[in-house]
Amino acid sequence: MVLKDYLVLIPGIILAFILYSLSQGFNNIIGIELLGYSKSPISTAMIAILLGIFFGNFFKIRESFQKGLDFSRDYILKLGIICLGIQLKPFEFLEFGKIAIPLIVICIVSVLIIIKLIIKKLQIPTRMAYLISIGSTVCGTTAIMATAPVIKANKSEISYAIANITLFGILSMLLYPYFANFYFDGNSLFAGLFLGTAIHETSQVAAAGLIYEQQFNSPETLNIATVTKLIRNTFLIVMIPLFAFLYNRGQAKEKGYSILSIFPYFVLGFVGMIILRNVGDEVLLTNNNWVDLINSIKAGSKVFLTMAMAAIGLSTNLKDIRNMGYKPFIVGFTSMLTVGIVSILTIEIYVKFFI
């Protein structure tokens, strides 16, 4: 690309950044000023895509913005996913890993099997089902946006899946803390494991853990839920190539398909960030510059991902979503129930046979 090609990207990228800034402002007003939290439990990314959808459908977006929005949706998204790796410290997960990892694997496999049966029954688009299932089982909108390029999902399918995950994620975020305390009789370990595996988004898990902590005076539950969710997020490394393989395998003979041709190489950057974080912590743990760098990359990942979500919202046509019908929402609701029920059953089995 020459300089001219890069310059045409600037208006769309700036527009995406403006929407990110607006969503951050609305997030602070709603979560901190109105609800009274010290840190807003509402997802800025959720607000960004909703604002994008609003402006994209009620105002005509000029053609001069489109290339920059496409760039934000594709490349800034991948940069955000790579930067996410800096917050993961797998060596700290060992304490809960012996329970959390098998629990997460069982939940993922169960939801995939159930959704496979449902899409045959309801005959909904395979790509949308994949997006909803990976969003339900791994890490919500981040997983959806990371998977979408490798299965060639269109903008409407992405937005519909995110709306689906947002709806049922918020529902579980509000209900599950009270249910977990009742069902697990105040056991902080089991409640934290349940919240960390049964709720879609990282921000929603944190919010549910915060609600549990404030209502039932259990900071341990918040910590366990957060750690479990971060472990769950690392399964993105496995699930994206797997979904790419499953979706493209039927085209192998026709298009010379190979796993290398669809492998999402930005996932290697994500892994590289995890390694960098752990090596850096060993060598530079007490160095203030290292700590500042980690915090800057963390903040950058949120900015990049939110910009990408705003770009997706701006490019979404609500008429296309309306024409898809109600069936995908049945898949989303079933996913929410499945992952919640499987999480409870797995914890119960662990309690019965290992404690």
For residue 186, report the phi and psi dihedrals to the nearest 5 degrees: 80, 5
**Going residue by residue through the chain (355 aa), what tens digit of pLDDT does each one get?**
566 667 888 888 999 999 999 988 888 887 777 776 666 656 677 788 788 888 888 887 787 888 888 888 878 888 887 887 786 665 555 566 677 888 888 888 887 788 778 777 777 777 888 888 888 888 777 788 778 877 888 877 887 788 788 778 878 888 899 999 999 988 988 999 999 999 987 767 877 887 888 778 888 888 788 778 877 877 877 777 777 777 766 554 444 445 555 455 676 787 788 788 888 877 776 677 888 888 899 888 888 888 888 888 887 777 766 666 677 778 778 888 888 898 898 888 877 776 6
Handedness of CA 188, 192, 193, 195 (dihedral sign): positive
Q: Residue 152 CB: number of other CB atoms within 10 A?
A: 12
Say which residue the tokens 């955000």 belong to.
80
| Strand (E) or helix (H) holding 132 | helix 126-134
Cβ–Cβ < 8 Å for 40, 275: no
Q: What Å distances lie between residue 15 and 6, 156, 301, 318, CA to CA?
A: 15, 20, 18, 20
Side chain identity, residue 327: K
Residue 150 burial (10 A CB sphere; 0-12, 13-18, 19+):
buried
Residue 32 CA to residue 328 CA, distance in Å, equals: 33
Helix or strand or coil: residue 78? helix
Model confidence pTM above 0.75: no
Res 252: pLDDT: 46
Residue 87 CA to residue 243 CA, distance in Å, equals: 24
